[in-house]
Amino acid sequence: MEEQVRVLIIGSGPAGYTAAIYASRANLKPVLYEGLEPGGQLTTTTDVENFPGHPDSVSGPDLMGLMRKQAERFGADIRTGNVTRADLSSRPFHIVIDGEKEIKAETLIIATGATAKYLGLPSETKFRGQGVSACATCDGFFYRRKDVAVVGGGDTACEEATYLASLCRKVYLIVRKPFLRASKAMQERVFNTPNIEVLFEHNTAEVLGDESGVTGALLRKNDGSETQIDIAGFFLAIGHHPNTELFADQLQLDAEGYIKVEPGTSKTNIEGVFAAGDVKDPHYRQAITAAASGCIAALDCERFLLK
């Protein structure tokens, strides 16, 4: 039997939980499905030092737990489960959970996030959160006056390298090509920063470490020779992959696969469908901006339902 809901929220990071808090307080009785990674990307980070209201920092899992609790306090129906099919061709929208449960939703808030791309090394997985990170602005502070490496050759990698250079003693930029793909301005910033060393035509063969975390990286040059660098932090900046496969043929996406929204709103090209968080944000990708966009989505959704 099909279940009818007024507001269905897909995803459970800061965007999804904040949308649930606002929608619950507006008495919209939202139902939220947590997806494959309850709590989102933040559950894989250790200390979050830049979320307002937590002067002594808070662990990622604790912060997500608090947001979840707050949403539940106001009556949000939070469920484990993963959306496996979504038909947005007519309202109410037809959503399938885990291949079997069917839901008809008057409105939909998509907060499925984006997944950082990794190199795929077992050692990289082993030290994730212990020196391996995909967010310099989140974790760079922990590596003050230490040596770190950034992997990538685009604008994001150059931006992360210059940001880290202001905190760290030395930054290695590991680039597999013989050139940087970044814009001219970003390249100049990198080359004019004395404590950034660009290692062209290098690939990471292994992230090295011990029980305390990352201690170095084994690099392989394109000619096959190997070299080792001593570092305390290893930052990935090779892109993110927005989790939009379910909606690819139905919603307007940009070239990278992020959901397009009307500027200044959370509205997608389909009436009654709203997007929040990293799934529509290729630029900032911060917990606080995701939470803010979850608030916007819930308010947009409420106004839509009042019409």
- Positions annotated as catalytic residues are 135, 138-139
Backbone angles phi, psi at 28, to 5 degrees: -90, 0
**Residue 219, CB-side half-sphere exposure with 13 Å CA sphere:** 23
Which amino acid appears at position 59 of this protein?
S
Residue that has been written with the tokens 């062209």 in this structure: 200
Distance from C-alpha of 56 to C-alpha of 20, rounded to nearest angstrom = 26
Contact 146, 153 (CB under 8 A): no
Of the candidates 181, 218, 214, the one whose C-alpha atom is nearest the C-alpha of residue 202 is 218
Of the candidates 185, 190, 123, the one whose C-alpha atom is nearest the C-alpha of residue 152 is 190
Q: How far is CA 220 from the centre of its chain?
A: 29
- Residue 297 has what DSSP assignment? H
Of the candidates 220, 156, 219, the one whose C-alpha atom is nearest the C-alpha of residue 189 is 156
Using the CB atoms, write b or e for 260-287: b if 16+ within 10 Å: ebeeeebbbebebbbbbbbbbbbeebbb
- Residue 112 has what DSSP assignment? -
Which amino acid appears at position 196 of this protein?
I
- Which tokens belong to 178? 């013989």
Distance from C-alpha of 55 to C-alpha of 151, rounded to nearest angstrom = 31
Distance from C-alpha of 151 to C-alpha of 156, rounded to nearest angstrom = 10
